[in-house]
Structure 1
Amino acid sequence: MEAVAMEKSVSKSDATNNRMELPMKSLGNFPIPAGQNYFNFVALDTLGRRWGFKVSIRNVGRYKKPWMSGQWRRFAREKGLKKGDRVKLTMHVEGNVVRSYHITAERNLTMRIWIPVEEFAR
């Protein structure tokens, strides 16, 4: 079964920083082991390229807003991401186990049509 793990509109800081803040509601889709504050995973993009990411939360305090780092900055730069683009992580789940993640970056062509950013490079 394919499920959306996270979907977000890219902010200006997401496009230029080493990390992207994630929606709090997506945190449950990244199995952070007890006693740790991060989860490493690999996601395939629409071209089949592998990207290493890390979802982290703060060690202290009640506010555990997650963010994604690892190869995020390189991904954002290579895809030419800018404010208003959309990033979506999907996960393929078998039973209760996530088997793989896929990442897509899209740009809004019109009000309701989103296309992969790779289409703009042509």
Structure 2
Amino acid sequence: MEVMAKLLSESDTSNKRLEFPTESLWAFSLPAGQNSVEFDAFDMLGQPWRLKISVRNEGKYPKPWISGQWGIYVLQKRLRQGDRVTLTMHDQENGANNYRIIAERKHFGFWYSIDQ
């Protein structure tokens, strides 16, 4: 199930954090009293990326973002503004969630996986 799909901004690729859509927070259970949770997302090659989703401690809006190994992911995949990142969640038989992260680049009107 798709958690989010986002066209990357300049800030997403240069600030070591990805601005995360508030409407996609449903996919993560933030422990009571905490403003962040870590999770592993596997790319198309099966490599795990340790990511962390955080929200503001104060303020009217949570303004979530993803950090952790996001900056390393951006560098390794050579992501740039305009590329698309999709995060999906899959339920496992044991009740845990499995996350996948897919990076794509548009070329001549078609989206292609950056991992291939």
Q: Is 1:57 equivalent to 2:55 in the alignment? A: yes
Other-structure match for 1:116: 113
Matched-pair contact (CA < 8 Å) for 1:91–1:98: no
- Tell me how large the CA RMSD over aligned residues is: 1.3
- The two structures have a TM-score, normalised by structure 1, of 0.88
Distance 1:18 1:36 in 2: 21
> What whole-Å deviation, never above 9, does each CA across 1:3-32 have from its counterpart, x for those lacking one?
011211100111111111011111111111
* SS of equivalent to 1:53: strand
Other-structure match for 1:27: 25
Tell me the number of residue pairs that the alignment of Structure 1 and Structure 2 aligns: 115
Quick one: structure 1 residues 98 and 62, their matched pair in 2 at CA, closer, same or farther if it must change by over 3 Å? farther
Distance 1:44 1:79 in 2: 13
Other-structure match for 2:100: 102
- The runs of at least 4 aligned residues of structure 1 exceeding 2 Å deviation read none
* 1:59-74 mapped onto 2 (5 Å cutoff): 59-74=57-72
Identity, % of aligned positions: 45
Other-structure match for 1:81: 79
Q: Which runs of 5+ in 2 are unaligned?
A: none
- The two structures have a TM-score, normalised by structure 2, of 0.93
